[in-house]
Amino acid sequence: MANLGPGRPRLEQRRRQGTTPRAEILDAAAELFTTKGYANTSTRAVADAVGIRQASLYHHFGAKDDILDALLAETVAGPVELAQRMIGEPEAAATKLYALALFDVRQLRSARWNLGALYLLPELRTERFAAFRRRRDELRGHYERLTAESCSAAGQSDEVRILPFRLVETVIAIRSDEGTAAAETERVIPDAIMRIVGHRGEVGAAADALLARLGEIDIDPA
Report in angstroms the alpha-carbon separations of 88 from 93, 139, 158: 11, 17, 22
CA-based nearest residue to 24, from 38, 35, 10, 37: 10
> Residue 42: phi, psi to the nearest 5?
-95, 160
Nearer to a copy of itself, 25 or 172 (CB): 172
- Cα 104 to Cα 21: distance, rounded to the nearest angstrom: 27
Among residues 17, 35, 84, 126, the one that binds a copy of itself under rule CB under 8 A: 35
Confirm if 80 and 94 have CB atoms less than 8 A apart.
no
Alpha helices in 13-154 (DSSP H): 21-35, 43-50, 54-60, 64-86, 93-110, 130-153
Confirm if 108 and 172 have CB atoms less than 8 A apart.
yes
Of 66-74, 101-109, 171-179, 205-213, which segment contacts a copy of itself by CB under 8 A?
171-179
Query: Is residue 51 close enough to count as binding a copy of itself by CB under 8 A?
Result: no
- Compute the least distance from the CB of residue 96 to a copy of itself, in Å: 20
Confirm if 102 and 187 have CB atoms less than 8 A apart.
yes
Binding letters toward a copy of itself, positions 11-30, x by CB under 8 A: --------------------
Residues 185-214, interacting with a copy of itself (CB under 8 A): 188-189, 191-192, 195-196, 198
Of 37-45, 84-92, 103-111, 145-153, which segment contacts a copy of itself by CB under 8 A?
37-45
Confirm if 124 and 134 have CB atoms less than 8 A apart.
no
Query: Is residue 167 close enough to count as binding a copy of itself by CB under 8 A?
Result: yes
Of 4-12, 42-50, 101-109, 157-165, which segment contacts a copy of itself by CB under 8 A?
157-165
- Compute the least distance from the CB of residue 72 to a copy of itself, in Å: 13
Residues 111-150, interacting with a copy of itself (CB under 8 A): 117, 119-123
Confirm if 130 and 109 have CB atoms less than 8 A apart.
no
Question: Using CB under 8 A as the criterion, which residues of the chain lie in contact with a copy of itself when the complex forms?
Answer: 34-40, 117, 119-123, 159-160, 162-163, 166-167, 169-170, 172-174, 176, 184, 188-189, 191-192, 195-196, 198
